[in-house]
Amino acid sequence: MTLSGKDVLLVGQSFQTPQGLTERLQRWGFRCHFAGNMRMTRELLRAVRVDVVLSDMRLSDGNGIALLGILTGLAVTAFLCLPVETSCFWLPAIDAGKKCLGLPALRPAEFARALEEMARCVGAAARG
């Protein structure tokens, strides 16, 4: 997955409460923005350019798949969080503006490593 900057939009109710993912993103230098549903996402995207979108699969006014329609044409990298039992899988959905839904899902630890690597690459590009 590729990334050009470090603004992250977290979409869904599960991101509205403090959690380890948000803390890690901030520690890696990401700026976090939050939207509770698709309507709020539309509004925020009019005001802020984001580089990464992380979304719950279920949203109060739609779902993660429908959210991808809002992101069409934007140069973002997006993942959808699919809950399973006591954990989740992260589904790659868009890579730098290109749809990639169907690539293998990532377990939480794999997803964290991928985000950390993206943060390092963006940081290196900014310094270089």
User: Domain boundaries in the chain?
Assistant: 7-127
- CB proximity list for 75: less than 8 A, separation 6 or greater: 4, 51, 96, 97
Q: Is the per-residue pLDDT at 45 higher than 90? A: yes
Is it the case that residue 127 has pLDDT exceeding 50?
A: no
Q: Give the integer Cα–Cα distance in Å for 116 and 128.
A: 18
What is the CATH superfamily name and number for domain 7-127?
Answer: Response regulator (3.40.50.2300)
Q: Determine the distance from the C-alpha atom of residue 72 to the mean position of all C-alpha atoms in its chain, rounded to a whole number.
A: 14
Do 36 and 62 contact (CB within 8 A), yes or no? no
The pLDDT value recorded for residue 121 is 79
Mean pLDDT of the chain: 88
Give which of 44, 99, 101, 103 is closest to 76, Cα–Cα: 99
**pLDDT for 6:** 87
pLDDT tens digits, one per residue of 5-38: 689 999 998 886 667 888 889 998 899 999 999 9
Which residues are CB-contacts of 17 (< 8 A; sequence separation ≥ 6)?
none
Overall average pLDDT of the 55-63 stretch: 92
Confidence at residue 77, expressed as pLDDT on a 0 to 100 scale:
93
Amino acid at 122: V
Distance between CA 119 and CA 2 in Å, rounded?
10
Q: Which residues pair with 91 in a beta bridge?
A: 80
Tracing tokens 């990298």 back to the chain, one arrives at: 77
